[in-house]
Amino acid sequence: MPHDPATAATPEGRLMARWLTAARRQGFLALVPPDAWHALSAVLSFTCRDGRRRFTLDQLALALAVPRLEAGRLLDELSRTQWRGQPLAVTEAGPDGEVAGAEVAPVELLLSLAGTETGPAAGPASSEAPAPAAAPDAGLRAELERAGLRPEQAGRLLSEFPADLLRRQLAWLPRRGARNPAAFLIKAVENDWGEPKEGA
């Protein structure tokens, strides 16, 4: 499908697209049952500026539009659902023993895989995750710069995106017939464009 610059995604749209793409590619969407996904979305909606997610069970029930007891059941299901050997959520309790929030570490892992640098997810990735070029590949950096990217642009792509995605888009770049290969390559990587059709 041709790219229309007039409909270019906003930074927020790209952030969401990267997150969802990473969730799909890493098998996250297929793993999470609908009820757990519903609860996870509600839990994430309580994210504070410091990255923590604070809420009471009553607030969660209101967000999910379910009785308090059902909200507790959904939170328990979320805690039982495993992702890469970790529960999707770990409930936090206040001094009174009541639900006071939840930690959702694996989602931060997905966000880092999706190439985001801002927001509550910023931080060290799990050692189990394939870090997207934590130690930039000198050969790949050279290829990016040969394609016309400035050193700072190449560095950003290396830090934000998996090496296999960068190599794939570099391999397809000659077939795209771009007037500005560097700018085109950046857009292709950011939006994970598919393989160009033969003759395109």
User: Which three-class secondary structure string do you get for 91-109?
Assistant: EEECCCCCEEEEECHHHHH
Per-residue b or e along 112-142, where b marks 16 or more CB atoms closer than 10 Å to that residue's CB: bbbbbeeebbeeebeeebeebbeeeeeebbe
pLDDT in tens, 23-70: 777 677 777 778 888 888 888 889 887 778 889 999 999 999 999 999
Separation CA 47–CA 171 (nearest Å) = 39
Where exactly are the structural domains of the chain? 11-113, 132-191
State how beta strands 90-93 and 86-87 pair: unpaired
| Verdict on whether the full-model pTM lies above 0.85 | no
Do 132 and 161 form a contact (C-beta atoms < 8 A)? Answer: yes
What architecture is domain 11-113?
Orthogonal Bundle (1.10)
Average pLDDT for the chain: 76
Q: For residue 135, what pLDDT band results from cuts at 50, 70 and 90?
A: very low
57: left (phi over 0), alpha (psi -120 to 50) or beta: alpha
pLDDT attached to residue 41: 85
Selection from 27-36, 104-113, 162-171 with the highest mean pLDDT? 162-171
> What percent of the chain has a predicted confidence (pLDDT) above 70?
72
Separation CA 169–CA 188 (nearest Å) = 7
